Amino acid sequence: GEVQRLPFGEDVTNGLTRDQLTRLTREVFRTRKVANEESVGVYLDQAFEALRTLSEQSRHLARSSVCSTRGLCVRVVSTHMASDSKARGTNVFCYRITLHNQGEDTVKLMGREWKILDGNGQIASTVPKHSPGVIGQHPELRPGECFEYHSGCDVHTREGTMKGSFQMRVVNSASSTEENGIEFDAVVAPFALIPA
C-alpha cells in the first residue's frame, strides 16, 4: 500500500480525526521495513500500543470541550461514574468545568443553562437559561483568574451529549465604564457523556 500524505496546516491545527490517525498509524506500520524476523514482534507490539493510545485519546477528546466567548474560556471534561451508575440503574456522569478569564474585564457568573441529550438525541434534561449561579455561587473573575467546579447528571441511555452556556456580566471593564453591566452568554461547547 501507498502511504497517504495527510494535509498539513489547517487540519493539523484543528486536529486529525480518529479515522485519519488510525489510517496513518497502520500505513506507517505497513511500510516500515523489518531488518529481521525477530523484530516483527516488537513492531507489532508498538503498533497495537499506538492504536490503543489513539483510541484512548479520541475518547478523551470526545468527553472534552473548550470554547471562548469575550475572553472567557470554558473547559469541560466528563467522566462516567461506573459504580454510581450500577447502584442507581442509570448512567451517571460527573463533569468538571473550568472558567478561565483570559480577557481584560472582570466578569461575574450570574446564571447557567444546560441541555442534556440522551444517546438518541432526545432531550433527557434541561436547566433553564438564567438559573442562578453554579453550585450556589456567583463567582467573580478578574483577568487571569480561574474558577472550577464539579457537578453531575445522568442519562438513561448508554451515552449522551451535554451543552449549554453561562450568563455572565461585565462588572469592571478595562476599556470603558459603558461596558459595565453588559451581559453575555459564555458558550459551553457540546461534549460527550460516554462510558470509559
Question: Does the pLDDT value for residue 1 go beyond 60?
Answer: no
Give residue 51's pLDDT band: very low, low, confident or very high (50, 70, 90): confident
Give the span between the Cα atoms of 126 and 163, in whole angstroms.
10
Position 7 pLDDT exceeds 50: no
Q: Write a three-state SS string for the chain.
A: CCCCCCCCCHHHHHCCCHHHHHHHHHHHHHHCCCCCCCHHHHHHHHHHHHHHHHHHHHHHHHCEEEEEECCEEEEEEEEECHHHHHHHCCEEEEEEEEEEECCCCEEEEEEEEEEEEECCCCEEEEEEEEEECECCECCEECCCCEEEEEEEEEECCCCEEEEEEEEEEEEECCCCHHHCCCEEEEEEEEEEECCC
Query: How far is it, in rounded angstroms, from Cα 107 to Cα 125?
Result: 28
CA–CA gap between residue 116 and residue 132 (Å, rounded)? 18
pLDDT averaged over the chain? 87
**Does position 122 have pLDDT exceeding 70, yes or no?**
yes
pLDDT of residue 71 exceeding 70, the answer is yes
- Would you state the pLDDT for residue 189? 97
- Residue percentage of the chain with pLDDT more than 70: 87
Distance from chain centroid for Cα 156: 21
Which carries the bigger pLDDT value, residue 104 or residue 6?
104
| Main-chain phi, psi angles of 122, to 5 degrees | -90, 150
Cα pseudo-dihedral 174, 175, 179, 183, rounded to 10: -60
Model's pTM, two decimal places? Answer: 0.76
Report the pLDDT averaged over residues 123-130: 97
Number of residues in the chain: 196
163, 22, 13, 185: which is closest to 95 by C-alpha? 163
Answer whether residue 138 shows pLDDT above 50: yes
Q: In the predicted model, is pLDDT for residue 63 greater than 50?
A: yes
Q: What is the reported pLDDT for 11? A: 41
Residue 95 has pLDDT above 50, yes or no: yes
* pLDDT tens column, 110-121: 999 999 999 999
